[in-house]
Copies of this chain bind each other. A is one copy, B any other.
Amino acid sequence: MTRRSGRGGRRPGSPDTRGQILEAARTEFARSGFGGTTIRTVAAAAAVDPALVHHYFGSKQQLFEAVIDPPADPRAIVAPMLDLPREEMGEALVRQFLALWDGPPGHRARVLMTTAVTDPTTGALLREFVLMRAVHPVLAAVATPRRERDLRAGLITSQLMGLALARYVLAFPELAKPTADRLVHAIAPTIQRYLTGEV
């Protein structure tokens, strides 16, 4: 798949080189995960010299952070729903989550999840984005007692991440085919119970 190195025919550092490298890195990380991607495979996919990748981005870890940086600001995404009546928040959270994955940040969110399963640093980043910055503010808004927040946040995260895993990453047809509306209808009561119901 990757083009072999050799300096002949490589593009010089044009204004768009950085963007080309970033796009190639995005594809490589999504396909091969963090462990399976190297500066060299990214350089080959972008048809540039590996030294240029180092020049623009530094290490593989820094390149990765540039790729995922960040899929979206989770706090900005949940902010509009914090004034809703509490019994509507479950549905709003599922709807916003699917809109994020179906929109432009979805590709970067997929890279983040794909990489997180083999790279603990990224796993911690995923937890920070989803659980700490998106789910916890919603729990705070519905006045969840502090001692229940961790469990409820974990339950909500498990359902939302499992949905993203099956629909967008693994693309199981049972979850990839239904419309977002159909899935919101089916899953909203689960998230609502994890937010405010008996667990």
Contacts and interface: CB of A to CB of B under 8 A. Distances in A.
Main secondary structure of the interface of A (DSSP, over half): helix
Interface residues of A, number: 49
Contacts of A174: 131, 150-151, 153-154, 157
Interface stretch (A3-11, A28-36, A76-84, A95-103): A28-36
A34 B31 CA distance: 10
Determine how many copies of this chain the complex contains.
Answer: 2
Contacts of A193: 189-190
Q: Closest 3 A-B residue pairs measured CB to CB?
A: A162-B162, A154-B174, A35-B36
Interface of A: 31-37, 113-114, 116-118, 123, 126-127, 131, 150-151, 153-155, 157-163, 165-167, 169-175, 177-178, 182, 185-187, 189-190, 193-194, 199
